[in-house]
Amino acid sequence: MLKRIYTAAAAAALMLAVPVIHAADAEYYASPGSKFPFSEAVRAGDFLLVSGQIGQAGKDADPTAAFKSAAHQAMDSIQKILTEHGSSLDHVVQCQVMILDMKNWPLFNEVYATYFKPGHMPARSAFGAAALALGAPVEVTCNAYEPQGKH
């Protein structure tokens, strides 16, 4: 019970520390030609929020190589979207990773670490998923921070 109270208090304190951003002030970036009902990224104040990007594994490849290829595809897509909207991986402060089979978590870490400078790793959470969009083995979403006037 006490743990729940501390958790609720911490969440409330965090909400007070986060600047209020009104949806009317946000910029929504659609994916060119996309049929999906979401933006590839949204700029909200000092943040660029990148929607989840998936990687597809080849059916005939070695399972390890196939997963690493999918992880690279997801991270390359994140990098491309950041660049297209005036940011870069250097500004990423937080990522979420969804992995179909958590046995692949160490493989994902190998790939992920190559995209960021040592000592400059974003905060991150990773969790297993029962299924991901389009049968993907991995999905990644990232948030970049850039103070106003720097983008």
pLDDT of residue 75: 98
Does 17 fall in a domain?
Answer: no
Residue 13 belongs to some domain of the structure: no
CATH assignment at residue 92: 3.30.1330.40
**Could you tell me if residue 111 is inside a domain?**
yes
Residue 7 in any domain: the answer is no
Total number of domains in the chain: 1
* Structural domain that includes position 139: 22-145
Backbone angles phi, psi at 114, to 5 degrees: -75, -10
Does 12 map to a domain?
A: no
Q: What is the tens place of the pLDDT at every residue in 39-57?
A: 899 999 999 999 999 998 7
**How far apart are alpha carbons 144 and 55 in whole angstroms?**
20
Which tens digits make up the pLDDT trace of 98-141?
999 999 999 999 999 999 999 999 999 999 999 999 999 999 99
What Cα–Cα distance (Å) separates residue 10 from each residue in 3, 4, 16, 93? Answer: 11, 10, 10, 20
Residue pair 140/78 in contact (Cβ under 8 Å)? The answer is yes
Residue 46 lies in a domain: yes
CB 129 within 8 A of CB 102: no
Residue 116 within a domain: yes
pLDDT of 73 strictly over 50: yes
Within-domain flag for 86: yes
Is the model's pTM score more than 0.85?
no
